[in-house]
Chains A and B, each alone.
Chain A
Amino acid sequence: MHIPDGFLDVQTSVIFTGLSAAGVAVALKGARSQLDEKTAPLAGLTAVFIFAVQMLNFPVAAGTSGHLIGGALAAILVGPWAATLALTIVLLMQAFLFADGGLTALGASTFNMAIVGVWAGYGTFLLIRKILPKKKTSIPVAAAIGGFISVPMAAISFTVQYAVGATATYSTTTVLGAMVGTHILIGIGEGLITGLTVSAVLASRSDLVYGWKNNTQKLEIRNA
C-alpha cells in the first residue's frame, strides 16, 4: 500500500503530510511517557521485524499480492504510540533506501499505515479483547482480528485521499469497492501473521507484550 508519486495532487500530499507529522508528534509524546529502558529494545526489534516481513509479498488472488502492514502487530507488542513511530521509521527506510513508495506521497502512506493502520488495528484489538475471556490465549485471537480489520481500514483511508485529490478522474466508488475487496483478502494474511507473531512473543516473553500486560497488571507506583 505504498503510494507512488503522482497518484495524489500536491495539495493532498501536503495536507496528509501535515496530518502525519501531527500524528507522529503526538505519538512521540505518548511513546516518551510509555517506553522505558525495558520496552525500548522491543520497539526497535518490532520495526526491524516489520521491515523484514513487509518484503514477503504473498499471493492473494490471480495476479495480486499483499504483504504485512504490521500496524496492529506493532501496537499490540509495544503500544500504539511506539507502533506509529516504528511504522514511520520502516516507511522512511523503504522510501529513501529502496524507493518503495514515492517521496511526495510518503506523508499520505504514513497516514494510512502508521496512523490509520495502527489505531484501527489497536482499537479493534481492544474491543475484541474486551469481549473474549480474560485469558492469555485470547490475545492472539484479538490480535489477528485487529490485524485483519486494519488492512481494509488503511485501504479506505487511501480511498479518502483519492477522493480528496487524485490526479485521475475515475469514480471514487469504483476505487473504494476495488480497494476494500482486495484488501479484505490481504487482511486475512495480515491477521494470520499478526496472530502467529503475537502468540510466539507471548510464549517466549509475555512480560514484554503491551497488549497483554496492560490487561493484567495493576497500576504500580514508580519513581519518575
Chain B
Amino acid sequence: MLNNRRFYIGGFVVSLFLAGVVSFYASSSPDGLEKVAEDIGFIETAKENTNADVLLSDYGTKGVDNERASVGIAGVIGVIGTAVVAGVAFKLIARKPRMVKN
C-alpha cells in the first residue's frame, strides 16, 4: 500500500507524463464520431468552433512551432488546470459541516 503522498504525487506525475510526453505519439486520425460523420457525410454540417482561436486550440500551443513542445505544453497546462479546477471543486463538495452556497 502506498501512502497518500506517494499515491497522489505518483498519479499526478503519471498524468503529466502522459499528457506532456506520450500525447505526441497519439494517433491523429479522426476519432470515431468524426470518422462516421465523414463517411456518411454529415461532417459538412459542422461549424467552426466558436472557441477556435483560443491559445491552446486543438491541443497545440499557439506560437510554439516545435510539434512535440506544442502538444506537450498544452497537455501540461491541461493537467495542471484540471487539477486546480477539480481539486477545488471536489474539496468544496466534500466539505461536510456546511452546504456550499451556490
Interface size on B, residues (CB 8 A): 63
| Cβ-defined contact, B78 with A39, below 8 A | no
| Cβ-defined contact, A3 with B47, below 8 A | no
Contacts A48-B83, A204-B1 hold; do A175 and B56 have CB atoms under 8 A apart? Answer: no
- B41's contact among A3, A4, A168, by CB below 8 Å, is which? A168
CB distance from B83 to the nearest CB of A (A): 5
- Number of A-B pairs whose CB atoms are under 8 Å? 222
Interface residues on A, range: 35 or more
What sequence of 0s and 1s flags, for each residue 12-41 of chain A, a beta carbon within 8 Å of any chain B beta carbon?
000000000000000010011001110111
CB distance from B23 to the nearest CB of A (A): 4
Complex interface: chain A residues within 8 A of B29 (CB) = 57, 59, 63-65
A221, CB-defined interface residue at 8 Å: no
Which residues of B, 30-68, contact A by the 8 Å Cβ criterion? Answer: 30-33, 35-37, 39-42, 44-52, 54, 56-59
A60: nearest chain-B partner, CB-CB: B32
| Cβ-defined contact, A93 with B85, below 8 A | yes
| Cβ-defined contact, A66 with B32, below 8 A | yes
| Cβ-defined contact, B81 with A179, below 8 A | no
CB distance from B43 to the nearest CB of A (A): 9
| Cβ-defined contact, A99 with B52, below 8 A | yes
Complex interface: chain A residues within 8 A of B45 (CB) = 6-7, 166-168
A-B contacts, 11 listed (Cβ < 8 Å): A5-B47, A31-B90, A47-B83, A57-B26, A98-B59, A166-B42, A168-B42, A170-B41, A175-B40, A178-B36, A182-B36
